[in-house]
Amino acid sequence: MKLAERTTKIAPPGTSRMRTIANELKEQGAHVINFAAGELDVDTLDIVKEGARQAIDKGRNIYTPALGTPALRKQLAALVSRHTGTDYAQGEVGLTAGAKQALYNAAMVLLDPDDEVIIPNPYWVTFPTQVELAGARPVFVETRPHGYKLLASVVEEAITPKTKVIIINSPNNPTGVMYDAAELAKIAALALAKDIWIVFDECYASLVRSGHRHEHLLALEPRLKDRLVIVNSFSKSHALTGWRLGYVAAPAPVVKAMENLQGHTTSNPSSVAQYAISHALEHDDGQFIARVNTMLDERLRRALAIVARMPAVTVAPAQGAFYLFLDVSAHLGKSLDGTTVADVDQFCELALRSAQIALVSGAAFGDPTSVRISYAISTDDVVEGLERLLTLLERLR
C-alpha cells in the first residue's frame, strides 16, 4: 500500500511507547511505576468543573468561532498582556486544541519548503516532526556542553540565509532547565537583527521550582513582539491535559492565518472546555498552582537525594516543569543476567522488565545517552521507583 510521502516523516511519539507498555503490564497485575507520564497527578480545579457543568446545563454544546469565543479571547488577551508586560489585543490571540495544535499551526503558516528552523537539543519530540511536515528542515543546536543551557553564540553559528524560525522551549521538556535571561535577550536581539521568527513554547511557565524564575522574552525585549509566536496551554497550569485547550499569541496577520488554517482542520476547540476555562480565569485565586509547586518542590528534593546516590549518573538542572533528565551513558554497554545494554532504548526496556519502572528514552528527544523521568507521580512512587533504578544500576556489570 502506497501512502503519501509525508507519512514517512511521522513516527509514533517516543514519549508514548513506554506508557503503553507500562499500562499493559499493569493490566497483567504488575506493580509498574510509570515515570513516563507527561501530566500532573492531581485533578483539575473545582472552578473548572463548575464552569463545565454550567456550560453543559446552559446548552453550550455548539460550534464557536475557530479560534474561540470572543469573550474568552478577550480574557486571554488580558492574561497574555499581564504575563508578558506587553499589550495584546483580542485579534492577536487564539484558542487551539492543545498547545500541540498551536505549534502545528505556527509551522504551517510560517514555514515554506527548504526553510531552516533552529531547535535546541535535547528537544520535545514533536518539534522536528512538525517542521518536516511543513517541508522545512530542522537544524539542531546542542545545549549539553553548556549545562543544558541555550547560548546565543551557539544559535548565531547555526543561522544561515535560510533560517526562518528559532524554537525556544523554557522551562524545557525534557530537561527541566530554564534558559538564562541574558542569553534569551541576546537571542531576541539576533532574531531582530536577522529578521527571524521565534516560536516561544512556555507550556510549563507556571511550574517553576523554588528559587527560580521564568523569564519571558517580551519582558526582556519588547520590540520582539512583531517576530514572536507565544505558545502556551491550560493543560499544565490547570491540570486538564485531556481537555485539549492551548493558546497562541502572535501578530494579528499570523493569528488570522492560523484561524483560516484551523477552520479547515479541526475548527474550534471544545466549546465546553472554553467556557470552563473562561469561568476559571474569572475566579482562579492562584492557590491551586501554588500548592502544586510546593508539592513538586518536595518531590524533587527527595528525588535528587536518591539520584545523588546513583553511580556515575548526572542530572540536568531541574529548575522547572516536573522532569529529571538523567545521563546514564556510563552504564551503556554493561550487562545484566547475560543481557548487554547496547543503547539507551534497551536500557529503558531492561528497566521496565527487570525493575518494573517505565522511563522515556532520551533518544526520543535527540539525546541517546539519557532518560527522562517524570516526578509528577505520587511521592511514594517517586521514592520507590528511583530506589528500584538505583538497585538496577548497582547490578549492572
Closest CA to 217 of 182, 251, 185: 185
pLDDT at 17 over 70: no
> Which grid coordinates are listed for 385?
521507583
- pLDDT, residue 220, reads 95
Q: Please tell me the distance from the alpha carbon of residue 116 to that of residue 163, in angstroms, as a whole number.
A: 4
40 close to 377: Cβ distance less than 8 angstroms? no
pLDDT in tens, 229-259: 999 999 999 999 999 999 999 999 999 999 9
Residue 230: the pLDDT is 98
Residue 93: which of 256, 216, 222, 220 has the closest Cα? 256
CB 66 within 8 A of CB 72: no
pLDDT band at residue 19 under the 50/70/90 scheme: low
Return the pLDDT at 234. Answer: 96
CA angle 98, 179, 16 (to 5 degrees): 40
> What is the C-alpha separation between 222 and 379, in angstroms, rounded?
40
Would you state the pLDDT for residue 11? 78
Which phi and psi angles does 350 have, rounded to 5°?
A: -65, -45
Please provide the average confidence, as pLDDT, over all residues in the chain: 95
What's the average model confidence in pLDDT over 135-142? 97
For residue 30, what pLDDT is reported? 83
In 3D, which of 6, 49, 86, 20 has the Cα closest to residue 250?
Answer: 86
Say how many C-beta atoms besides its own lie within 10 A of residue 209's C-beta. Answer: 19
Q: What's the pLDDT at 5?
A: 84
User: DSSP string of 149-166?
Assistant: ---HHHHHHH--TTEEEE
Task: Please check the confidence at residue 26 and state whether its pLDDT lies above 80.
Answer: no
Rounded-to-integer distance, Cα 31 and Cα 22, Å: 9
Whether the per-residue pLDDT at 23 is higher than 80: the answer is no
Contact status, residue 165 vs residue 118, Cβ threshold 8 Å: yes
User: Could you report the per-residue pLDDT of 178-214, keeping only the tens digit for each?
Assistant: 999 999 999 999 999 999 999 999 999 999 999 999 9
Q: Pick from 272, 279, 206: which is nearest to 47 by CA?
A: 279
Q: Where in the chain is the domain with CATH 3.40.640.10?
A: 61-283
Distance CA 260, CA 358 (A): 40
- Tell me: pLDDT of 4 over 90: no
CATH hierarchy code of domain 5-43+287-395? 3.90.1150.10
Per the CB < 8 A criterion, the answer to whether 51 and 71 are in contact is no
Residue carrying C-alpha cell 527487570: 354
Nearest to 257 by CA among 201, 197, 195: 197
Q: Given pLDDT bands bounded at 50, 70 and 90, which one contains residue 16?
A: low
- Render pLDDT for 67-90 as a digit per residue (tens, 0 to 9): 999 999 999 999 999 999 999 999
- Does residue 20 or residue 395 have the better pLDDT? 395
Q: Higher-confidence residue: 310 or 19?
A: 310
319 alpha-carbon distance from chain centroid: 14
pLDDT for the residue numbered 137: 98
Share of the chain above pLDDT 90, in %: 90
At 290, is the secondary structure helix, strand, or coil?
helix
Residue 15 has pLDDT above 60, yes or no: no
Is the bond into 145 cis (omega within 30 degrees of 0)? no
Rounded Cα gap, residues 130 and 109, in angstroms: 12
Question: Please, are residues 88 and 80 in contact by the beta-carbon 8 Å criterion?
Answer: yes
pLDDT digits (tens, 9 = 90+) for 107-117: 999 999 999 99
- As a whole number, mean pLDDT of residues 301-314 equals 98
Cβ contact 179:216 at 8 Å:
no
Contacts of 310 (CB under 8 A, 6+ apart): 326, 389, 390, 393
CATH 3.50.50.60 for domain 61-283: no
**Per-residue confidence (pLDDT) for residue 358, from 0 to 100:** 94
**β-strand 33-34 against 357-358: which pairing, if any?**
parallel
pLDDT at 29 (0 to 100): 83
DSSP 134: T
Which residue in 349, 267, 322, 283 sits closest to 64, CA to CA?
267
Contact 188/152 with Cβ under 8 angstroms? no
